[in-house]
């Protein structure tokens, strides 16, 4: 069963000011992503955005969350999504993040994550896996996976499970 509560076919998208595209949620998303990414030693994150006014607000919230998790980001400013993917791969950043809703109306915005190789995260990463006792088992599975490419691509599971309950990732 696919878990698309937040991640749709191409990242998280929605109307700005309505869940999940709120500064509070994006701050938590940045914190959760930062906690997961910081465990792997790399501190390089690249963030780009399109020209929507709301992108500046969401970028600040994302930066605050990443900083709270001990990471810093390099900001590209307004830039096409494929360029952020290219820079992520070229500079071997742990992740690339784009704030954009692509062709959606101006009042929408979204957040899309890229893996270290500049590819978008596969849909299978959004699936919710649970252990026998019913608790989310993402972090344990990720630790067992080592540094394989599927491990890098599927960090989204751990990030999303952290957004709802940040205290569980300590």
Q: Is 102 an active-site residue? A: yes
The structure tokens listed for 89 are 């791969």
Name the active-site residue from 102, 128, 148, 162.
102
DSSP per-residue codes, the chain: ----SS-BBTBEEEETTSTTSSHHHHHHHHHHHHHHHHTTS--EEEEEE-S-THHHHHHHHHHHHHHHTT-EEEEEEE--HHHHHHHHHHTT-SEEEEE--TTS-TTEEEEEEE-TTSPBPPGGGG---B-TTSSB-HHHHHHHHTT-HHHHHTHHHHHHHHHH-GGGG-
Residues with catalytic function? 102
């Amino acid at each position: 069963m696919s878990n698309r509560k937040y991640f749709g076919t191409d990242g998280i998208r929605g109307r700005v000011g309505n869940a999940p595209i709120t500064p509070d949620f994006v701050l938590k998303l940045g914190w959760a992503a930062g906690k997961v990414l910081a465990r792997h030693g790399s501190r390089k994150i690249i963030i780009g955005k399109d020209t929507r006014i709301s992108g500046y607000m969401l970028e600040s919230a994302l930066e605050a969350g990443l900083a709270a998790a001990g990471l810093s980001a390099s900001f590209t400013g307004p830039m096409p999504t494929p360029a952020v993917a290219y820079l992520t791969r070229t500079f071997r950043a742990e992740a690339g993040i784009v704030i954009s809703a692509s062709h959606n109306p101006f009042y929408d915005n979204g957040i899309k994550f890229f893996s270290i190789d500049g590819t978008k995260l596969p849909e299978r990463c959004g699936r919710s896996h649970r252990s026998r006792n019913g608790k989310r088992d993402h972090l344990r599975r990720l630790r067992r996976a080592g540094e394989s490419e599927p491990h890098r691509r599927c960090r989204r599971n751990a990030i999303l499970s952290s957004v709802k309950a940040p205290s569980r990732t300590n």
